[in-house]
Structure 1
Amino acid sequence: MASLEVPELAYEEYTNRQLAAVPLAILAVAVAVLGITFALTGTPLALGIEFTGGTELTIATTADQDEVAAAFEQEPTSIQPVEGQQQYIVRFAASDLEGFDEDGQAILQDLVDQADQNLEPAAGADGSSPVVGESLTSASFGQQIQFTALIGLVVAFIGMSAITFGLFRTFVPSVAVSLSAFSDLIIPLAFMSLFDIQLTLGTVAALLMLIGYSVDSDILLNNHVLRRSGSFYESVHRSMRTGITMTVTSTVAMLVMAIVAWFFGIGLLRDIGLILAVGLIADLMNTYLMNVSLLRWYKFEGVAR
């Protein structure tokens, strides 16, 4: 892989506090965004139907989006057009459907009947019904999935921290990796909250991937500084040549994926691409500002003196 031209940063001109100030300030803003959203809505993020429960209909119709919304007595939670096709993915959250917990299947059938009565099927729809796909997730099952996803994130983070400590067997470098990974998660979560990107199984997978990306770049930096020959600043610059090349390449790839997915109306891939791109940009900042400041303190002022 060809390396990018990475200039040597004049770290000597900045104190450790100055290097860490920007990433810590952005982390504080991200935490505040999630906290305010939680105070206003009861959850830090908008949750997808997988976690809240509800129904999803795939409708093939000649009607436009406004007509699809008007076809139902209950206003849909979201309507997503499928690019290049006369299809819409219509979602109803369980919290918006009265009596859903008691008889979700009957409510789903009622929604299908309303679509049949009020919408004209598209030419490609099978039979006379515009509904070509349907699914139902109970609220209790959604809560179980939500809990499982949360446990998965926590276990992944704890496992990453344990492996990092096992590799370096020193407190400060291990904390640097864990703090950077934590910030790499919180900043994309705040981005999701601001731009109303729902937390779904797909976006949880993107967050899990971010943990892997973060650990990779941070361990690369720590390994160069703590285990290889050369001065501190030479080691940092060597790791930057590899780490920035990998991260910038991955970020561009994620942005291209998001743009292509947006063009073709693939909402999940668009969201995953955006989350990963934001997380990777945050990882560059956290790794080469906050992590470098902690490692420099450890090497020159801390217990490694």
Structure 2
Amino acid sequence: MVAFEVPEIDYTRYTNRQLAAVPLAVLAVALLIIAGWYAATGVPVNPGLEFTGGAEIRVAVDAPDGQARERIQQAFDPAPETIRGVPSDNTYILTFQTEEVGVSALEEQARAAGFEVQSSYTVSPSFGSRTQLLALGGVAFAFLGMSALVFLMFRTFVPSVAVVISAFSDIVIPVALMNVLDIELTLGTVAALLMIIGYSVDSDILLNNHILRRSGEFYESTHRAMRTGVTMTLTSLAAMTVMTIVATLFGIQLLAAIGTVLVFGLSADLMNTYMLNLSLLRWYKYEGVAN
């Protein structure tokens, strides 16, 4: 069996500003991407079919990819908003965000063009709007509840804020990358963001507890926390990476999107926990308490 040992990092080589600079710079870039996206589109991240309403059809087209996409564009009126190919076969997932044509009419157009309709479903705009409100409200409630619980646990400002800022950055960075990679906000990706909050709180509270509440010198406590926290996060990261690759190869778009968001979130969590959170805790331990 292969043994994994978390290396002991010499944090004394870096000042608190140096440790915090990289995570804060990445967070600033992520916020700029989201702000720019909002200015250009009116939304911070593109909502998926579950939130906007519309129809989705999965069709099989017996033609090379380029020719198949051209035939799909010509076959439908109105043309599909998005066309996503499934790498494992000649299947394409088409989305339509219109109320003018029903899903049955779209199926007829597909069959008339010689396509095999494998599945279809539709979501009304009003239902999608309510679903979006509930989903985003759930994320906000989870984040606020987590923040309140952290403040109740530590009862001191700096350690509590360190956890909250790290968790906030863990969410913002994947959302910005969703815009860059054209991943839509769906119920699946909302669930991934909720999972990221949980992962972030686990690793941050673990670090805070070892440093603030357990015996031992600061760097010794840090390494003890990292042995557990880094192993836990890397294990989850490896599992999500494999899931994302397999889901992409087999055209399971929902799992691929969830896995991608989790990979970005877990990677951000490693950076924020052991650079940003740690720098704030070290300042609090050696300078904040002393003053």
Residue 38 (structure 2) aligns with = 38
What SS does the aligned partner of 2:288 have? coil
Question: How many Å apart are 1:83 and its aligned residue?
Answer: 4.6
Cα distance in structure 2, aligned partners of 1:37 and 1:200: 17
Cα RMSD over matched residues?
A: 1.8
2:88–2:249 CA contact under 8 A, matched in 1 = no
TM superposition shift of 1:85: 4.5
Structure 1 residue matching 2:58: 3-state secondary structure:
strand
The correspondence of residues 1-305 of structure 1 with structure 2, limited to 5 A, is: 4-62=4-62, 64-93=68-97, 97=98, 100=99, 107-120=102-115, 130-303=116-289
Unaligned runs of 5+ in 2: none
Inter-partner Cα distance in structure 1 for 2:259 and 2:252: 11
Superposition deviation, residue 2 in structure 1: 7.6
In 1, Cα distance between equivalents of 2:22 and 2:88: 43
Q: Distance in 2 between matches of 1:50 and 1:304?
A: 52
Instruction: Write out per-residue CA displacement over residues 147-174 of structure 1, whole angstroms, 9 at most, x where no aligned residue.
Output: 1111010001011112212222222111
Q: Deviations over 1:95-118 (max 9, x none)?
A: xx3xx1xxx6x5333222211222
Q: Could you list the per-position Cα deviations for residues 156-207 of structure 1 after superposition, in whole angstroms to 9, with x for gaps in the alignment? A: 1011112212222222111111110000000000110111111110011111
State the shift of 1:66 in Å.
3.0
Aligned letter for 2:76? F
C-alpha contact 1:56 1:136 (8 A) present in aligned 2: yes
Task: Letter of the 1:247 partner, please give it.
Answer: T
Cα distance in 2 between the residues matched to 1:170 and 1:263: 48
Tell me which amino acid in the other structure corresponds to 2:199: Y
Q: Secondary structure at the match of 1:91?
A: strand
- What letter corresponds to residue 74 of structure 1 in structure 2? P
- TM-superposition CA deviations, 1:36-67 (whole Å, max 9, x none): 11111111212101111111122245353432
Give, in whole Å, the separation in 2 of the partners of 1:163 and 1:304: 26
Aligned 8 A contact 1:68 1:119 in 2:
no
Whole-Å Cα distance in 1 between the matches of residues 112 and 159 of structure 2? 64
**Where in structure 1 are there 5+ consecutive unaligned residues?**
121-129
Distance in 2 (alpha carbons) for counterparts of 1:304 and 1:152: 40
The 8 Å contact of residues 3 and 241 in structure 1, kept in 2 or not, is answered as no
Secondary structure of 2:102's partner?
A: helix
What displacement does 1:212 show? 0.4
Please tell me whether the aligned partners of residues 3 and 242 of structure 1 are also in contact (alpha carbons under 8 angstroms). Answer: no
Aligned residues: 287
Give, as a single letter, the amino acid of the residue that structure 1 aligns with 2:21.
A
Residues 180, 59 of structure 1: alpha-carbon distance in 2 compared, 3 angstrom cutoff: same
Aligned counterparts of 1:292 and 1:304: Cα–Cα separation in 2: 17
AA aligned to 1:50 is E
For the residues of structure 2 that align with 1:224 and 1:304, how far apart are their CA atoms? Answer: 19
- The C-alpha deviation readout for 1:205-254, integer Å capped at 9, x for no partner, is 11100000000000110010011110111101111111111111111111
Q: Counterpart of 1:301 in 2: which secondary structure? A: helix
